[in-house]
Amino acid sequence: MGHTRGMYEIHERPQMHQPVLVAGFDGWINAGGAATNTLEWIADGADPFVSFDGDRLFDYRDQRPIHEIREGVIEAFEWPSVTMTHVRRGGRDLVLLSGTEPALNWQAFVGTVADLSLELEVSELIGIGGIPWAVPHTRPIPVLTTASDRSRIPVDDEHPEGIIRVPAAVSRAIEVRLTSAGIPAMGFWARVPQYVGVDLHAAALSLLARLGSHLGIVFDTAELMVEVDAQREHLDAIASARPDLAVMIQKLESIVDVADPADGEQLASEIERFLRNRPDDDGLAG
């Protein structure tokens, strides 16, 4: 039987040893569905053991529930939600914090996540997500690394340079709170082609590889790779039928292959102009 504790209900506490909290949300910093698809893949249908109170986290006028109507009859009604799910992968206990990014009561929510993390003896936080970037879909999706301490970022990992001020996601607010509580944090952010407007399976594949490398886990991604290959063929077909898109992708490939980020920043403005002038039904971002 579940127990309600203020902002959340804990259904049944699993047995875990120093679990890693992996957090990602549908909303800000989820380009290409990178965070949500990665967490869904890891969860593999496991049931949540914690459910947060949606009435305290969402403005339903902005994050409206979804209902499904079949032959004039409502058959399903889905509320936005945030949950914690426990899985054991490769001998490691993982707690997956996922769902729709809250719109309300961030500080109370973040404080609750911190309290739960301490109670569950979480050993590390890993935030994941996707950010739009001037990269082609024809190359492996690169992953940017951040951390609560510079010394935790591997030498070979790409990371933001200098000082960057950007609107924060709730996952970053969680990182700040957990770090202050003594829980170290990492962040892995897939650079998603900004001209792709659908969930990009390759982004989830790259995040799973980076997560696995960090945690010492080998995720079984055979089925996902089939989806990645099929989607790549579909995007290639779109590009072959669109000379303007094909030219843009070739430019991106040349920039990635010679690792010239300055040219990439210049091309980003070209991509934005391309997206403003594209057809509305081509499946690309807009």
pLDDT tens digit sequence for 103-146:
999 999 999 999 999 999 999 999 999 999 989 999 999 999 99
In a domain, 91, yes or no: yes
pLDDT at 139: 92
What's the whole-number mean pLDDT along residues 81-102?
A: 97
In a domain, 242, yes or no: no
What's the whole-number mean pLDDT along residues 171-188?
A: 95
In a domain, 257, yes or no: no
**Distance (Å) of CA 30 to CA 3, 27, 110, 168:** 31, 6, 19, 12
CATH number for the domain spanning 17: value is 3.40.50.10900
pLDDT of 259 > 80? The answer is no
pLDDT at 43: 97
In a domain, 63, yes or no: yes
Average pLDDT of every residue of the chain: 88
In a domain, 246, yes or no: no
**Residue 99 CB partners (closer than 8 Å, separation 6+):** 25, 26, 52, 80, 81, 82, 83
**Cα(5)–Cα(111) distance, rounded to whole angstroms?**
13
Residues 261, 266, 267, 268, CA torsion sign = positive
**Distance (Å) of CA 45 to CA 42, 85, 87, 210:** 9, 10, 10, 22
**Distance (Å) of CA 169 to CA 16, 28, 176, 286:** 28, 6, 11, 21
- Domain span including residue 127: 3-220
In a domain, 286, yes or no: no
Number of domains in the chain: 1
pLDDT at 286: 37
In a domain, 274, yes or no: no
pLDDT at 28: 87
pLDDT of 281 > 70? The answer is no
In a domain, 240, yes or no: no
- Residue in the block written with tokens 């040219």: 263
**Cα(233)–Cα(220) distance, rounded to whole angstroms?**
22
Q: Is the pTM for the entire model greater than 0.85?
A: yes
Sequence letter at residue 3: H
**Residue 95 CB partners (closer than 8 Å, separation 6+):** 16, 19, 20, 21, 22, 84, 85, 86, 120, 122
